[in-house]
Amino acid sequence: VSNAGVGMAGPLECQSLAAMQSLMDTNFFGLVRLVKEVLPDMKRRRGGHIVVISSIMGLQGIVFNDIYAASKFAVEGFCESLVVQALRFNVAISLVEPGPVTTEFETKLYEEAERADYSRTDPETADIFTNLYLRNSKDVFSSLGQTPEDIAEHTLRVIEAARPPFRHQTNAAYTPMAALKHADPSGALMTDAFYKLVFKYDAVLRLSLR
């Protein structure tokens, strides 16, 4: 089970390349290093199961989560490319894709975001992040967040499955969001829906979450 991960949220201009590279080294290359170690023996034994804790943000990017989403997209692409070869050797790969999970991980991330310096971006972007995104995110976590125990139960079901699924989403509330991308390959439907949700109907979003 690959579960190492770090988070990053905020305006792109305020994040250093060094921090971005560090995140990618943990979230993506950490997984690559693990798979390189365990896969050869699994192939020799012609049996094994690699379970990767990914994220719904590996399927759908979320505003102000540019680099974190990029790392999870990389995880998803890596595993999607590898799974066919692995199956030839009777090795299963499963991606567990949670939405928000209420842990100290997120609490620390948002506490740091509230204290951060946003002088390197424009005032409008800083205001959108601090007064719109952070506020809405707290409502999302309090309304839709799962417990770590719930994610563990989902992961256990994936591990014990007779035919392990390649992808397993843990929160049904996010299925429509992921489906928008497949409904319109041009991306217009998804982009328009998220723009309106963030900038036009944010009050309705917060009310519905509460």
Annotated active-site positions, please?
A: 68
Token output for 188 = 């217009």
Cα–Cα distance list, 16 to 63, 75, 126 (Å): 18, 21, 16
Token output for 113 = 């975001």
Strand segments (E) across 71-110: 91-97
Token output for 133 = 């995104």
